[in-house]
Chains A and B, each alone.
Chain A
Amino acid sequence: MVESWWVSTLARGLAFSAPLLLAALGELVAERSGVINLGVEGMMILGALSGFAVADASGNPWLGVMAAAGVGTLAALLHAFFSITLRANTYVSGLALTMVGLGLSGLLGKPFAGRPLAHPLPKLDIPGLSSIPWLGPGLFQGQNALLYLALLAAFLLWYFLYRTRGGITLRSVGENPAAADALGVNVYLVRYLATAFGGAMAGVAGAYLSVAYRPSWTEGMTAGMGWIALAIVIFAAWDPLRAVAAAFLFGAFYHLAYRFQAHLPPEFLKMTPYLFTVLFLVLGALGKSVRLGAPEALGRPYVRGER
């Protein structure tokens, strides 16, 4: 009884947290380089639409995922151009990206609405591992390959950020771009690459929704998940492994709320992810981890010769 309860919480919590984790990891890298991108929601929804469209046309869900990554990257490069090169207001540029993304996907997505995807990403069963008691059935049975990719990405990113030269370079650009510049680092290039990575991950997160989680296209199907991913980055204090924990906590909480649906009006249930997000941010702020983790130059455009 307890075990089956735990297994379903683990399984559903993980499934729900995968897109949040993917998008959060991408944004985390961008923010570590000093670029805030409030366009996550817009890049995600563009990724969801292009992922679905390509998977639908080609019959190959993986092509859809790749197309989503490509479209997310292009969208992110637009933000990079505005906020890094033109030094426009980062917040407004990101918001514009979200607005255009939501509008454009609604406009172009009309013909795809309400159509199930014939070949979604397959669910995986990993033999052997899935028979581990308590952990196995939730973690290794019927989950999507993209979930494992997200978890793997988190560990690789952690290693990259803290154990490699490239990671030090990335972090130094986010902490003190002038010093990094003086050491010969191309600040603009690093920021462009980090922002582009964020876009690719947001695109894949969107594709997870439309090609794997609910293999179909619905207008506005990201439903604020991009914003929740932004909150997870803050709550996780810009650390990839903590992002795994934060995203899972979020997914598990959501699943638990779902279990109480018989006792609650459905509208309250739908409200919970957003209330959790506010609550998480407040808890994170009370725990003071937030101000310790934020990159020093976050959100500040870099101009050579200016302090």
Chain B
Amino acid sequence: MRLVPREQPGPAFVLAVSALAVLLAFAASLVLLALYGASPVEALRVVYQGVLADPRGFAEVLRRAVPLTLAGAGLALAFRAQFWNIGAEGQLLLGAVAASGVALFGPGEGITKLFLMGLAAFVAGGLWAALPAYLKGRLSVNDVITTLMLNYVAIYLVEWLIHGPWKGRSVFGFAYTDRFPASAWLPTWPGTALAWPGVLLAVAFAVFFAWLLFATRLGFEIRVVGENPEAARYAGIRALSTLFWVALLSGGVAGLAGFVEVAGTHHRLLAPLQISLGYGYTAIIVAWLGRNHPLTTLLTGLLIGFVFAAGDVAKVALATPFQLVQVVNGLILFFLIAAEVPIRYRIVWGSDRG
């Protein structure tokens, strides 16, 4: 068996192969479910009834899709520049911290307050990503490891705040902050838990990033730095500053996702695992499935949001543990990278030395 590179594959072909990969991952998940002792048919039924056939189920999909798309669109930008940001989880948490700080102790009323919270979250998430980017650009320090390590630092920072200085005065035994004042709450769609401004933010940033990437000088630099660092140097592109902007933007939107979670759903800062169900890690799949195009992350964010929502109804109806969602997402990623092969190569059966 050998692999012969394919000429530019058409978008329809790429879409078909990717969709097939996702379907196969779902099928594999059902097999896993059966091995776990739950009925796959029953699983399909509860997911259909609880998510697809129920308008509130769709609101849940959207609620999960918001942080995934926000962080995913940012990662699409980062991966384009070969900035291996595995730290969206920590950047999201930092955003949640900054937004909570403004909500609890900061100035502003009404929309001004919400704006300040969002801004603080964006800056905090962005700077949390900028440090590893600087270390990569300046000292060639491995960005995968530094961004990942900072996730843990962010987790314990949140833990410290909610057990220590920010622990709410009115919550006694629990480890979380006081509830935000009502002016720091994002409005929700009537009858659902969906903070709809989050949807607007996700769409706006996905569109903005697509425009940035394909219609501006910075976007051009991002693509050249990622695809051909040598050429970028000859073209006089300062890789360090490009990297800095990419980090600021991709960390910034992850921070914004943290803002939407605390201001839209929880209304307080609480345990890291409750703020984010691994959205920052899962956003890697959102970006990769969307072939690192900010606009496609709108679709792939919805798809992975569906996996989360389906996991929720399965948890209630079939008593499956939450980790199932993680496994399904991981399987999607595996099938997806396997799908790269038919996309990029034609498979020819026969000898190696043709």
Q: Which residues of A contact B (CB under 8 A)?
A: 38, 78, 82, 86-89, 91-93, 95-96, 99-100, 102-104, 106-107, 110, 219, 223-224, 227-228, 230-231, 234, 265, 267-268, 270-271, 273-275, 277-278, 281-282, 285-286, 290-291, 304
Which of B163, B285, B333 has the most chain A CB within a 10 Å cutoff? B333
A-B contact list, 6 entries, CB within 8 Å: A88-B341, A93-B337, A99-B285, A103-B323, A274-B149, A290-B140
User: Are A267 and B163 closer than 8 Å at their CB atoms?
Assistant: yes
Which residues B303-354 have CB closer than 8 A to chain A? 321, 323-327, 329-331, 333-334, 337-338, 340-341, 352
Which one of A87, A103, A110, A271 contacts B157 once the chains associate, using CB atoms below 8 Å? A271
CA distance A213 to B121 in the complex (A): 39
Which one of A82, A86, A107, A227 contacts B148 once the chains associate, using CB atoms below 8 Å? A227
CA distance A100 to B326 in the complex (A): 7
User: Are A274 and B152 closer than 8 Å at their CB atoms?
Assistant: yes
Judge whether B176 is part of the interface by a CB distance below 8 angstroms: no
Return the chain A residue nearest B146 by Cβ: A278
Shortest CB-to-CB span from B296 to chain A, Å, is 16
Chain B residues near A227 (CB, 8 Å)? 145, 148-149
Shortest CB-to-CB span from A44 to chain B, Å, is 14
Judge whether B141 is part of the interface by a CB distance below 8 angstroms: yes
User: Are B327 and A107 closer than 8 Å at their CB atoms?
Assistant: yes
Chain A residues near B341 (CB, 8 Å)? 86-88
CA distance A100 to B29 in the complex (A): 12
Q: Is the interface of A mostly helix, strand, loop or mixed?
A: helix
User: Are A96 and B327 closer than 8 Å at their CB atoms?
Assistant: no
Shortest CB-to-CB span from B152 to chain A, Å, is 4
User: Are A38 and B144 closer than 8 Å at their CB atoms?
Assistant: yes
Judge whether B196 is part of the interface by a CB distance below 8 angstroms: no
Beyond the given A224-B149, A224-B152, A275-B153, please list 10 additional residue pairs across the A-B interface where CB-CB is below 8 A: A38-B144, A82-B334, A95-B284, A100-B327, A106-B321, A106-B323, A107-B323, A230-B142, A271-B152, A278-B141
Which residues B133-170 have CB closer than 8 A to chain A? 135, 139-142, 144-146, 148-150, 152-153, 156-157, 159-160, 163-164
User: Are B334 and A282 closer than 8 Å at their CB atoms?
Assistant: no
Judge whether B195 is part of the interface by a CB distance below 8 angstroms: no
Chain B residues near A270 (CB, 8 Å)? 156, 159
CA distance A102 to B156 in the complex (A): 20
